[in-house]
Structure 1
Amino acid sequence: MKIVCIGAGPGGLYFAISAKLRDAGHDITVIERDPPGATYGWGVVYWEDLLDTLYRNDRESARRIRAESTLWQEQVVSLRGTDKAYLGGYGYSVNRAPLLQVLADRATELGVRIQYETVVEDLAEFADADLVVVADGANSRTRQRYQDQFGTRVDHGKNPYIWLGTERVFKEFTFDFEPTPAGWVWFHAYPSAEGVSTFIVECTEPTWRELGLDRLGHAETLRLLEEVFARPLRGRPLISRSRGKPATWQRFTQVFNQTWRHDNAVLLGDAAHTTHFTLGSGTRLAMMDAIVLAQELYDHPETALAVKEFDEAGHAALREAQIAARSSMAWFERADRYTDRGAVEFCYAMAGRHGVQRPWQYQMFLAQQNLLVRRALRWAGTGQRWYRARRRGEPWRSR
């Protein structure tokens, strides 16, 4: 089968890997408009369920991804830098640049051709392909050209946010909310590489404008944010440039398509659907899309039937995730309404942003605020990681 994949992000590259593993006879070309190594943002997060799936699907790339990843344990929610509350759990994060390099290297090893710095203008260029996988992100130019055929709806969140890095290493997944004369500003931070953390700053639109962040240059923006977050940053600077490009303020792009297929093309990952970054599921969902589509092509000799099954099953599976993502985004757009309470009550309100919580969950949450309970949960998490790593046949890494 001749397959062209537009976009060398995690979804596109992992689809190429997954399809080649199932049928080495596929002729697969990945086309990317940017040069090798170019990417935006810093780290992405994932959890054990994805790691289990990656090891089952392709042990080699999973092993390399885990080696590039950093462990974070516990979640901390802070108000004014001093009043804190805690949520349990742990996860992993990996910087986008090494993640893409791992996937590109693995795809190349399997015989996939990757063409960088190549712009796709029209799907008609690939009329001779059996399948064109459109995986060029939330702002997909290809999808925009055929938006009527896909039934595309694009909305944008209200809050401005900027994706930065910092030399302050956060061992926990940290949310910190700081007051300013213009209103509240907050960040989401987590370790993403040796000596570096991802640092996403967000606020409401009125606060953003009142602080002048809509007018400041990127150097002045960093200085202002370093002043606002001086206490949690502990004197460490913020980093704007990732792979040479300065970070810019954005509003989250919500993408929905009535169908993911048109003629010989199919949408995948953020080109097909997006979930708010506060869920940390975008990369996971793109890579799961890649596996499912590759498996459908393997299971069904007729490409049209395989794509139809992928489209219908994918829409059904995503429903709950997209509902949760919309609820999460809406909560953060109203977060300053909850800041008149202490960190414990604020944290519990944030934890319940995805839906109704039962009374016993509140009691469990209160217990987690106890240091001894948190230590016990961290030990339990370590045991769980050891067990799952052993089950996967993965070398044990405590970090």
Structure 2
Amino acid sequence: MKIVCIGGGPAGLYFGLLMKMRNPAHDITVVERNKPYDTFGWGVVFSDATMDNMRQWDPVTAAEIEQAFNHWDDIELGFKGEVIRSGGHGFVGIGRKKLLNILQARCEQLGVKLVFETDVESDTDYPDADLIIASDGINSRIRTKYAEVFKPDLVVRPNRFIWLGTNKLFDAFTFLFEKTEHGWFQAHIYKFDEKTTTFIVECPESVWLAHGLDKADQDQSIAFCEQLFASNLQGAKLMTNARHLRGSAWLNFQRVKCEQWSLYNGRSHVVLMGDAVHTAHFAIGSGTKLAIEDAIELTRLFGEMGDGPDQIPHVLERYQTLRNVDVLRLQNAAWNAMEWFEVCGTRYCDQLDAPQFMYSMLTRSQRISHENLRLRDANWLGGYERWFAERAGMQLADGEAAPPPMFTPYTVRGLRLKNRVVVSPMAQYSAVDGVAGDYHLVHLGARAMGGAGLVFCEMTCVSPEARITEACPGLYRPDHVQAFKRIVDWVHANTDAKFALQLGHAGAKASTRVPWEGIDQPLESGNWPIVSASPQQYLEGISQVSRAMTRADMDEVKAQFVAATRAAADIGVDWLELHCAHGYLLSSFISPLTNRRDDEYGGSLANRLRYPLEVFAAMRAVWPQQRPMSVRISAHDWVEGGITPADAVEIARAFKAAGADLIDCSSGQVSKKEKPVYGRMFQTPFADRIRQEAGIATIAVGAISEADHVNSIIAAGRADLCAVARPHLANPAWTLSEAAKIGYTALAWPKQYRSGKQQMEANFQREKAQAAMAALSPVRAAEA
């Protein structure tokens, strides 16, 4: 094949040399606009895993890079006068110029033609090429020319950064945070050769503008940064190698993501590679990694599928399909890390102490979990767990190991939970005429014995009309009260879990069938009238149409909530939650998607909150002061024009002012037009933001399925409690099982089950040992 790589960065050079190694008969040219052996930029970073990949594909190049790179394991934080260091992270740093020079020399050794000082205008400049690699960077001309085909999604991020260097050497990947009168700055610092260090300074746009840096030239900006970080630089100067730029050297990061990666221009196949097709924020140092691994994967597929011209379209289609999975995973992680740095000044820097700030920073991408940190640096994590446990009120003896964060106690008002695990309220649709019967006693009792600190009953309705289905439990008749008292008494007598009740009204989503007979479908007969903030039909053309509540309706429903609250208090419920989420009655007032009123209960968010706050205040007034109350909200409607996470912060502030102790942070289920973005712990960012910005404790929910998730969330301060739903349906003793799985043996089991404890722990330890042995030696594992 005749191959032309437009752009002599890591992607184009590495792909060129790999394909030339694979088949010396290929005619390969790399075209670069800069001079020979000249480039701009300071150091680049990639992981040990990428180096392992390079060793497999071209040991010669890998060996040369290894001789030139700087390797370090430690991450160091300088924050609020403290210095904290954690090890075992595994990074490789090398000067960008040095890396490209190595790749250029290797290309020449293999016979790849290098053309310099040539600014390519178009792919059609090479009409005889079979394959054109458009590795022409973040501002790719080729991508711009064919934008209708590639469909790039370009997002300019709000923070400003300046990429500098210094001759002061650092022996760890260092993060520095400094506060000014206008806000926080951070520096990302890593050494890349024997005498030079990359020094990236970043801040929010508002802070940048407040300091007048938009009007500063490069020299003035450098002087500002030298003064800002003077205590750490200790007289060392900051440098730029971007003297060719005019005006400010401060940049905004651009996230690039393309829907299509390749095309046929009538003569040649063209494929984007590297920054031209995808970018990843420098917060996790992945741009070079992505470029190198792009080159490896495309080369691998040509080897697997054949590298003749006829195979090119099939290879490129397969390339995008396979490569996009890894790229999106890494871009998502980089996005999380980037967002953390964008908001840390307003969300974490002032709110968190240095140890927890360090933990939050290390886990910012959600790729590094609690147990992964233990593998990296068990001593550091053990010290942090001790710090966290003592902050939670535990008194540990000298040398005593602290429990994992999920097993620390949590105290709110006069209630102390033994751990941070909550059995989430999950509708069971098994009540008879509103009565929670034997099924609920067994269901809730089993989960109370399963190790969780707090067990929620499903949403319990305050009137017959408030029920979602005819099989939903209620708390509006004396027999309902007695049924719940039986459950509460049993839980208190037989377990050390606390019992919580969630009170709600289904509103426009009431009078439907049980899910296994048709989820959200209206009853075939016997439907009752339904009410909501405004007339609405949840399932268009199918559901009943709700009637807008009158003031008399509001008074009646509020009285029903108060009566149910009194009943819950009388029978000893430990914790009460008001359901204001998922499109049910009170949620329908809050969301602009469902509230179209033109009175004092509609319009602005403050007006839309008026009635839910009335109900909450009336409940709080009769609920015992020593017992907690939480509110479940939909923190994101996932529909344009609906509730946003920013709105959720204001909603949380309003309920906090009314006396709420925690916000239970769910999302969605308000409109069938919703388009949620799912993933592990996908709703935790809502709990995190509300906790930090509204200053109220939160409960995280949603795709939290293992101890690692809970420990990471609690330890980082992203939430105070974690509500685990579906895993508790599959395993009532989920909490006990997860403790055994991670090797935490200090957790007490019910006395009736203790004989199973050691066996479960031993089984998990055996599985771990076998997995470790298999990783080292398949033969030894088979023998074992």
Do the two structures share a fold, i.e. TM-score over 0.5?
Answer: yes
Structure 1 residue 300, shift from structure 2 partner = 2.2
Using the alignment, how far apart are the partners of 2:166 and 2:367 within structure 1?
A: 35
Q: 1:358 to 1:200 in 2, by over 3 A?
A: closer
- Aligned partner of 2:284: which letter? L
Partner of 1:270: 275
Deviation per residue, 1:37-60 (Å, 9 max, x gap): 332321011222111111111111
Deviation per residue, 1:88-132 (Å, 9 max, x gap): 223220000111000001001111111111121122222321100
Three-state SS of the structure 2 residue aligned to 1:220 is helix
Structure 1 residue 245, shift from structure 2 partner = 6.2
1:327 to 2:332 alignment: no
- TM-score, normalised with respect to structure 1: 0.88
Using the alignment, how far apart are the partners of 2:357 and 2:317 within structure 1?
A: 44
Three-state SS of the structure 2 residue aligned to 1:8 is coil
Deviation per residue, 1:278-336 (Å, 9 max, x gap): 11111011011101111222222311111111111111222211111111111111011
1:249 to 2:260 alignment: no
Three-state SS of the structure 2 residue aligned to 1:97 is helix
161-170 vs 349-358, which deviates more? 349-358
Contact 1:84/1:344, CA 8 A, preserved across alignment: no
Alignment of 1:178-217 (within 5 A): 178-217=178-217
Using the alignment, how far apart are the partners of 1:242 and 1:74 within structure 2?
A: 29
356-365 vs 57-66, which deviates more? 356-365
- TM-score, normalised with respect to structure 2: 0.46
Aligned length: 369
- Aligned partner of 1:47: which letter? S
Structure 1 residue 352, shift from structure 2 partner = 2.3
Structure 1 residue 62, shift from structure 2 partner = 0.8
Structure 1 residue 367, shift from structure 2 partner = 2.3
Partner of 2:291: 286
Contact 2:34/2:117, CA 8 A, preserved across alignment: yes
Structure 1 residue 235, shift from structure 2 partner = 1.0
- Aligned partner of 1:85: which letter? I
Alignment of 1:309-388 (within 5 A): 309-336=318-345, 337-340=347-350, 341-355=352-366, 366-367=381-382
Higher alpha-carbon Rg: 2
Using the alignment, how far apart are the partners of 2:369 and 2:273 within structure 1?
A: 36
- Aligned partner of 2:333: which letter? A
- Aligned partner of 1:353: which letter? R
Using the alignment, how far apart are the partners of 1:169 and 1:359 within structure 2?
A: 30
162-171 vs 315-324, which deviates more? 315-324
Structure 1 residue 140, shift from structure 2 partner = 0.9
Using the alignment, how far apart are the partners of 1:58 and 1:358 within structure 2?
A: 32
Contact 1:22/1:295, CA 8 A, preserved across alignment: no
- In structure 2, runs of 5+ residues without a counterpart are 387-784
Contact 2:362/2:368, CA 8 A, preserved across alignment: no
Partner of 1:5: 5
Using the alignment, how far apart are the partners of 1:358 and 1:290 within structure 2?
A: 29
Three-state SS of the structure 1 residue aligned to 2:212 is coil
Contact 1:78/1:177, CA 8 A, preserved across alignment: yes
Partner of 1:395: none
Three-state SS of the structure 2 residue aligned to 1:324 is helix
Using the alignment, how far apart are the partners of 2:360 and 2:370 within structure 1?
A: 13
Q: 1:25 to 1:362 in 2, by over 3 A?
A: closer
Partner of 2:29: 29
Contact 2:164/2:238, CA 8 A, preserved across alignment: yes
Using the alignment, how far apart are the partners of 2:12 and 2:4 within structure 1?
A: 10
Using the alignment, how far apart are the partners of 1:359 and 1:285 within structure 2?
A: 26
Deviation per residue, 1:183-229 (Å, 9 max, x gap): 11110101111111100100011110111111111111111111100
Contact 1:37/1:243, CA 8 A, preserved across alignment: no
Using the alignment, how far apart are the partners of 2:93 and 2:368 within structure 1?
A: 27
Partner of 1:54: 54
Partner of 1:43: 43
Three-state SS of the structure 2 residue aligned to 1:36 is coil
- Aligned partner of 1:303: which letter? I
- Aligned partner of 2:71: which letter? L
- Aligned partner of 2:261: which letter? W
Three-state SS of the structure 1 residue aligned to 2:143 is helix
Using the alignment, how far apart are the partners of 2:367 and 2:44 within structure 1?
A: 27
Is the strand fraction higher in 1 or 2? 1
Contact 2:35/2:117, CA 8 A, preserved across alignment: yes
Three-state SS of the structure 1 residue aligned to 2:136 is coil
Structure 1 residue 73, shift from structure 2 partner = 3.0
Contact 2:9/2:100, CA 8 A, preserved across alignment: yes
Which ranges of 4 or more aligned residues in structure 1 deviate by more than 3 Å?
Answer: 242-247, 356-366
Please, what is the CA RMSD of the aligned residues?
A: 2.0
Structure 1 residue 244, shift from structure 2 partner = 6.5
1:226 to 2:219 alignment: no
Three-state SS of the structure 1 residue aligned to 2:314 is helix
Contact 2:135/2:274, CA 8 A, preserved across alignment: yes
Contact 1:20/1:26, CA 8 A, preserved across alignment: yes
- Aligned partner of 1:90: which letter? G
Using the alignment, how far apart are the partners of 1:361 and 1:315 within structure 2?
A: 25
- Aligned partner of 1:149: which letter? V
- Aligned partner of 2:99: which letter? L
